[in-house]
Chain A
């Protein structure tokens, strides 16, 4: 480990791995100790970590990453249907295909910067989304969505003597059925690997170059760097992470519909990254978990449960409180999300991790955590 990454980072990875793998225990008291939710933490964590490699390091704000999520999902589904229910080839294939898609889209989009880049990525993602719903129906099965059905070829599975049984096959990992807790641990291990890779990238010369591009692209040009290959590399890597996340979504729940490519999904990953802390290593992970947790909690509430919760108040007051708060829960969860989004951007655009770092420094003036302190923007 020490040869691979610095000793400080080794501690970070060890702590993170321990935290992720023991999530079922320490998150149980807040009602999150079940695999369905925890694996979403891990999957969206991967998505956000990857997004952060692009947005956090280079400052290029992509509004089209949902497209790569979709590519990953469909690739995995076809790998299941045509080749084998084993998850390993599926996730590798997804990452590669998403990387190819990202290379194509990135090649064009990165010719422009700033808001034009955002709009270009958005345009490409919307094109993919619209096509997935219309002419690509043979591949995507349109609105109905794609799933494993009886009579699928499963070529590799059949080659090793697998017979179609009465029930549909589940995704597995060399015989280990990936439903329930096994699915979570599979996602968790992938997440840790993805985190280590992201850490390596951040600490590498490539990472340094990317951050330099963020702080002053023009100056990089003067120094003699051709920046495009570096930004394209970041774009492709983050696209591959998105493909990986999309793939894991299918591994844990084998059904994919085109709506996961909608541009609001791209907006969600931006929010996760920002909420956690742009440019930090653990921030996007925390942001993703926080959002998915509150999405889960808030959408499970409804007005009745609120009414009970506030029953200690006098009757009319309790009803009024429940009605007002009722707007923010259940199907109104998106309202909460929008409000949180705004509050974060207005008051703490640097995210939770930086906010925590600020508090930490206020308490202990001279200390600095492993990834707490901020690289200050150099003077222009």
Chain B
């Protein structure tokens, strides 16, 4: 029984990590800029496709003669990297998923900044409904562009072979060998913890972050102090894009990304944000992990036998209950967006 519980908690962690990272970016943007960003799921999806693009880039191939076929001239594809660097090149290709962060971070930062400067900033003073609509339109555009470039089918991005197997977590914590868990999901969990810690320490311990937090509290006063708060908030938007994008890039080996990956996560991330409390960063992270775990418990067969279909609706149900009972969410500040 304990085995089953530990296993479900672990199962919930990788989904929960993804929810937490997306919700963190959503909340960051909402808390600083007051913007409801329906294109945030699309940023997650773009990050995953950065990993795909990077993999494609690394495996650019040339035709070489296949020496194993001797009867006739046969040709096979060989990546340039392998031709040039031999086994070292192959190792680089194997690690394309984590290495893709080299590409993802600058690309997502650029996308975030361009989005903010060219479109989003004109919507700060408009109603939430209009913000939702314009970013929803943007999300459609982004996903259709990805579909046009990469096609409609999911594209597998393999995890590095060193992490392809499963970790024997049960024996580590002394519960026997019954509990195994894929390495890459464990790494994803560690990565998300690192990113979350990074974002929080950036806001907590740097002067830049302090100003941003001050701006979240009272934008006008910070502006009156002679600080260009708009510029800082634009950077925050870029940061949120980077968080979502890198989350997507590292998530790519877990689910082969396709173009509507973003939409699938978007709705759920909003649920997460609402449960955590609009505008509360810690709440978003907490709710992300909690809901991930809740979902994996709900998809246990034992639970499904009692309440059929519960795994399909549990997160929405959680959101509905939270919104009706405690509209400020788990850790939301009283009075903020509570109408």
- A and B part of one assembly: yes
Q: Which residues of chain B from 128 to 142 have any CB-CB distance to chain A below 8 Å in the complex?
A: 128-130, 132-134, 136-141
A63 to B319, CA, bound (A): 15
Q: Answer whether residue B91 sits at the interface, using C-beta atoms and an 8 A cutoff.
A: no
Given known contacts A334-B144, A341-B140, A123 and B320 CB-to-CB distance under 8 angstroms: yes
What is the number of residues of chain A that contact chain B, defined by CB distance less than 8 Å? 43
Q: What chain B residues lie within 8 Å of A127 (beta carbons)?
A: 312-313, 316-317
Q: Could you tell me if B148 and A335 are in contact, using CB atoms closer than 8 angstroms?
A: yes
Q: Could you tell me if B122 and A120 are in contact, using CB atoms closer than 8 angstroms?
A: no
CB distance from A231 to the nearest CB of B (A): 13
Q: Answer whether residue A227 sits at the interface, using C-beta atoms and an 8 A cutoff.
A: no
Given known contacts A267-B136, A274-B133, A116 and B267 CB-to-CB distance under 8 angstroms: no
Identify the closest chain A residue to B139 (Cβ): A338
A346 to B141, CA, bound (A): 15
Q: Which residues of chain A from 289 to 344 have any CB-CB distance to chain B below 8 Å in the complex?
A: 327, 332, 334-335, 337-342
Identify the closest chain B residue to A340 (Cβ): B137
CB distance from B172 to the nearest CB of A (A): 36
Q: Could you tell me if A338 and B130 are in contact, using CB atoms closer than 8 angstroms?
A: no
Q: What chain B residues lie within 8 Å of A115 (beta carbons)?
A: 36, 128, 132, 278, 337
Q: Could you tell me if B320 and A124 are in contact, using CB atoms closer than 8 angstroms?
A: yes
Q: Could you tell me if B271 and A119 are in contact, using CB atoms closer than 8 angstroms?
A: yes
Pick the contact of A342: B36, B126, B132, B141 (CB < 8 A).
B141
Given known contacts A108-B320, A345-B134, A122 and B309 CB-to-CB distance under 8 angstroms: no
Q: Answer whether residue B145 sits at the interface, using C-beta atoms and an 8 A cutoff.
A: yes
Q: Answer whether residue B270 sits at the interface, using C-beta atoms and an 8 A cutoff.
A: yes
Chain B, residues 301-314, CB within 8 Å of chain A (1/0): the string is 00000001100110
Q: What chain A residues lie within 8 Å of B312 (beta carbons)?
A: 127, 130-131, 133-135
Q: Could you tell me if B144 and A346 are in contact, using CB atoms closer than 8 angstroms?
A: no
Q: Could you tell me if B323 and A120 are in contact, using CB atoms closer than 8 angstroms?
A: yes
Q: Could you tell me if B144 and A61 are in contact, using CB atoms closer than 8 angstroms?
A: no
Given known contacts A135-B308, A135-B309, A339-B141, A114 and B271 CB-to-CB distance under 8 angstroms: no
Q: Answer whether residue B324 sits at the interface, using C-beta atoms and an 8 A cutoff.
A: yes
Q: Answer whether residue B339 sits at the interface, using C-beta atoms and an 8 A cutoff.
A: yes
Q: Could you tell me if B313 and A131 are in contact, using CB atoms closer than 8 angstroms?
A: yes
Q: What chain A residues lie within 8 Å of B129 (beta carbons)?
A: 59, 61, 118
Q: What chain B residues lie within 8 Å of A338 (beta carbons)?
A: 137-141, 144
Q: What chain B residues lie within 8 Å of A228 (beta carbons)?
A: none
A361 to B270, CA, bound (A): 42
Q: Could you tell me if A339 and B327 are in contact, using CB atoms closer than 8 angstroms?
A: no
Q: What chain A residues lie within 8 Å of B148 (beta carbons)?
A: 327, 332, 335
Q: What chain B residues lie within 8 Å of A335 (beta carbons)?
A: 140-141, 144-145, 148
Q: Answer whether residue A356 sits at the interface, using C-beta atoms and an 8 A cutoff.
A: no
CB distance from A340 to the nearest CB of B (A): 8
Q: Could you tell me if A123 and B319 are in contact, using CB atoms closer than 8 angstroms?
A: yes
Q: What chain A residues lie within 8 Å of B320 (beta carbons)?
A: 108, 120, 123-124
Q: Could you tell me if A332 and B327 are in contact, using CB atoms closer than 8 angstroms?
A: no
Pick the contact of A118: B132, B141, B327 (CB < 8 A).
B132
A271 to B130, CA, bound (A): 11
Q: Answer whether residue B46 sits at the interface, using C-beta atoms and an 8 A cutoff.
A: no
Q: Answer whether residue A270 sits at the interface, using C-beta atoms and an 8 A cutoff.
A: yes
Q: Could you tell me if B140 and A337 are in contact, using CB atoms closer than 8 angstroms?
A: yes
Q: What chain B residues lie within 8 Å of A134 (beta carbons)?
A: 309, 312
Q: Could you tell me if B138 and A342 are in contact, using CB atoms closer than 8 angstroms?
A: yes
Q: Which of B140, B309, B320, B323 has the most CB of A within 10 A?
A: B140
Identify the closest chain B residue to A128 (Cβ): B313
Q: Answer whether residue B101 sits at the interface, using C-beta atoms and an 8 A cutoff.
A: no
CB distance from A183 to the nearest CB of B (A): 30
Q: What chain B residues lie within 8 Å of A113 (beta carbons)?
A: 339
Q: What chain A residues lie within 8 Å of B119 (beta carbons)?
A: 342, 346
Q: Could you tell me if B324 and A111 are in contact, using CB atoms closer than 8 angstroms?
A: yes
Q: What chain B residues lie within 8 Å of A337 (beta carbons)?
A: 140
A113 to B203, CA, bound (A): 31
Identify the closest chain A residue to B36 (Cβ): A115
Given known contacts A112-B323, A135-B309, A122 and B136 CB-to-CB distance under 8 angstroms: no
A335 to B149, CA, bound (A): 12
Q: Answer whether residue B263 sits at the interface, using C-beta atoms and an 8 A cutoff.
A: yes
Identify the closest chain B residue to A55 (Cβ): B129
Given known contacts A115-B337, A120-B323, A135-B308, A270 and B133 CB-to-CB distance under 8 angstroms: yes
CB distance from A144 to the nearest CB of B (A): 18
Identify the closest chain B residue to A116 (Cβ): B323
Q: Which residues of chain B from 315 to 338 have any CB-CB distance to chain A below 8 Å in the complex?
A: 316-317, 319-320, 323-324, 327, 337
Q: What chain A residues lie within 8 Å of B145 (beta carbons)?
A: 327, 335
Q: Answer whether residue A22 sits at the interface, using C-beta atoms and an 8 A cutoff.
A: no
Identify the closest chain A residue to B138 (Cβ): A342
Report 30 cross-chain contacts, Cβ distance below 8 Å, ordered by A residue. Answer: A59-B129, A63-B132, A108-B320, A108-B324, A114-B128, A114-B337, A116-B323, A116-B339, A118-B129, A119-B323, A120-B319, A120-B320, A122-B270, A123-B271, A130-B316, A135-B308, A271-B133, A327-B145, A327-B148, A334-B140, A335-B140, A337-B140, A338-B141, A338-B144, A341-B133, A341-B140, A342-B141, A345-B137, A346-B122, A349-B130
User: Told that A112-B339, A263-B267, A335-B145 touch, could you supply 17 new A-B pairs with CB distance under 8 A?
Assistant: A61-B132, A111-B323, A112-B324, A114-B339, A119-B323, A122-B267, A123-B320, A126-B267, A126-B316, A131-B309, A135-B308, A270-B133, A332-B144, A338-B144, A345-B134, A346-B122, A349-B130
What residues make up the interface of A, taking CB atoms closer than 8 Å to B? 59, 61, 63, 108, 111-116, 118-120, 122-124, 126-127, 130-131, 133-136, 263-264, 267, 270-271, 274, 327, 332, 334-335, 337-342, 345-346, 349
